[in-house]
Chains A and B, each alone.
Chain A
Amino acid sequence: MMEQIWSMLSDPNMQWIFLGCTLLGLSSGVIGCFSYLRKQSLMGDTLAHAALPGICIAFMLTGIKSIGLFLIGAGIAGVVATFGIGYITRNSKLKQDAAMGIVLSGFFGLGIVLLTLIQHGDYGNQAGLDKFLFGQAASMIASDVITMTVVCVSLITICTLLFKQFKIISFDPGFARGLGYPVAFLEQLLMLLIVVAVVAGIQAVGVVLVAALLITPAVSARYWTDRLGLMVVLSGIFGAVSGAIGTWISASVSNLPTGPVTVLAATLLFCISILFGPQRGLVAKRLLRQRVKQRFHQDNERLLEGNVKKEAAL
């Protein structure tokens, strides 16, 4: 096993893929924190599903498979999807969850239709387009990996530079507006970053599961700290570790798609966090609740004893 891993790591193409997926996990983890704090975790899922028709249309128009083109197609589809969700919730009595469900399944249905059209039509080099559903990091070629790396690095850079702004619009957009921040612009920018992270992740993790890279590390990180700065760092680390493990295992076992393995690695970290997180973890909470109950009953007994004595004195 170890030898296999070493031999894999010595393959330069594999090194690139490995680096790309780790960076992907890192940047998704970082951005996921903000979308979690803005209570928009499932937005990532919706955007990922919505990206599929965008990718298909980009391919149908150009006939080329390249991550850069797909980014543009998926980005446009993502913007249309977010606009659609907002429009439905503002203009009808439907709530956000239903609006998301409608947009998600509607876009995905359209994507599937287009995908079958591509498969049945004569679009030439279409093989592997269906890999987008579950992700296969090993199928990426060098130029894809380079694009992905550049995208991830720029995501992380933007988040670092605008950390203060993103923090305040996640916590209190009204106050941010009062400070004179361009809140609407920042919100759109953040949404765009989520779209970019999702699209960058699709080839490695797949449409169905890419949302987990945004959600799971962020939730796990929340269990270890109450400070946003640390949470972002931890979430990034969790994401990076999951991405690395996912690529590793899926490349060493034949036929195993990268996405699910990455997600399972992230889920494992989540389980550890939810159990052993220092204050919010289940174990810590159970202990705390027991202590509170105990102290409470002790207090009560003392009180009751006092009352009895008083009555006796009377």
Chain B
Amino acid sequence: MSQSPNAIRTATKAIAPLSIKGLSVAYQKKPVLRNVSFEVNEGELIGVIGPNGAGKSTLMKAALGLIPSIGGEVLVYGKPYKQQRKMIGYVPQRESVDWDFPTNALDVVLMGRYGHLGWFRRPSAKDKALALECLSKVGMADYAERQISQLSGGQQQRVFLARALAQDAKLYFMDEPFAGVDAATEKAIITLLQELKLQGKTVIVVHHDLATVQDYFDSVLLLNVELQAFGPTEQTFTQEQLQRTYGGRLAFLDRSLQSPSRHDGVGE
């Protein structure tokens, strides 16, 4: 799982998929993000880890221009974010939308194509075929016509992922895709992430479950308002760094770090 990124890393060092310099966000008095700078390599799965309120989601939203920053620069493949929108796929947190909305799963996936359609064009038969294909990639083809409120939490999450696939992007932001999903969905998601990686795409994932970090991600970004550490998982995801990021709250984490990972082999 960790050999291919090195090869790609040297090949495409020239333009990073995402390069952030000095990004800062403040809501009221307190900064939520202070001076965060990093550059990700193409074709990697990157986990963003940190305690609650560390600014993980904020980092994503600020990088996407959804909330104003008070300073800093975000470059996507060397250009400002606004010129590169079609290269970016976004999976918001599942709770951010109203699942009672009158629409079905296929239709939600089709929304992923809207960015490519311009102002006036309607989704074509080709777009529909593509959306259906994305749904089947997440194992949801049978549910295409199902009203979205009738799907389980995990299924809703998979629909969201299918929508991101339909965006056909090169760089993906996913905000807690593993939150509150069943084991089958977790497995489906990680398989999908691996597949994206094989296609040379870069995926940045806000993640909560420290026990699975080592299995899932090539690199980790430890965040607590400021950037604590960023680099390849085996060097960065260490006791010492975690202690720094999580402060004194780490005692309970020791066990999860030492325990043999329970997701061995997933996604191979």
Chain A contacts to B: CB under 8 angstroms: 93, 288, 292-293, 296-297, 300, 303
Contacts and interface: CB of A to CB of B under 8 A. Distances in A.
A296 B29 contact: no
A296 B100 contact: no
Given A93-B100, A300-B22, A303-B35, A288 B29 contact: yes
Contact of A297 (B28, B29, B71, B149): B71
Q: By CB atoms of chain B within 10 A, which of A288, A300, A303 has the most?
A: A300
Interface in B70-105: 70-71, 100
A296 B22 contact: no
A93 B31 CA distance: 38
Given A288-B28, A293-B70, A296-B31, 4 more contacts: A292-B70, A293-B26, A296-B24, A300-B71
B129 to A, nearest CB: 31
A296 B24 CA distance: 9
Contact of B26 (A93, A296, A300): A296
A186 B26 CA distance: 39
Contacts, number: 21
20 contacts: A93-B100, A93-B149, A288-B28, A288-B29, A292-B29, A292-B31, A292-B70, A293-B26, A293-B70, A296-B24, A296-B26, A296-B31, A296-B70, A296-B71, A297-B71, A300-B22, A300-B24, A300-B35, A300-B71, A303-B35
Contacts of B70: 292-293, 296
Nearest to B100: A93
Contacts of B28: 288
Nearest to B70: A293
Interface on chain A toward B: helix, strand, loop, or mixed SS? Answer: helix
Contacts of A93: 100, 149
A293 B22 CA distance: 14
Contacts of A297: 71
Contacts of B35: 300, 303
B28 to A, nearest CB: 8
Contacts of A300: 22, 24, 35, 71
A191 B149 CA distance: 32
A163 B150 CA distance: 44
B239 to A, nearest CB: 28
Contacts of B31: 292, 296
A288 B149 CA distance: 43
B30 to A, nearest CB: 9
A292 B70 CA distance: 10
A293 B100 CA distance: 40
Nearest to A303: B35
Nearest to B102: A93
Contacts of B26: 292-293, 296
A303 B21 CA distance: 13
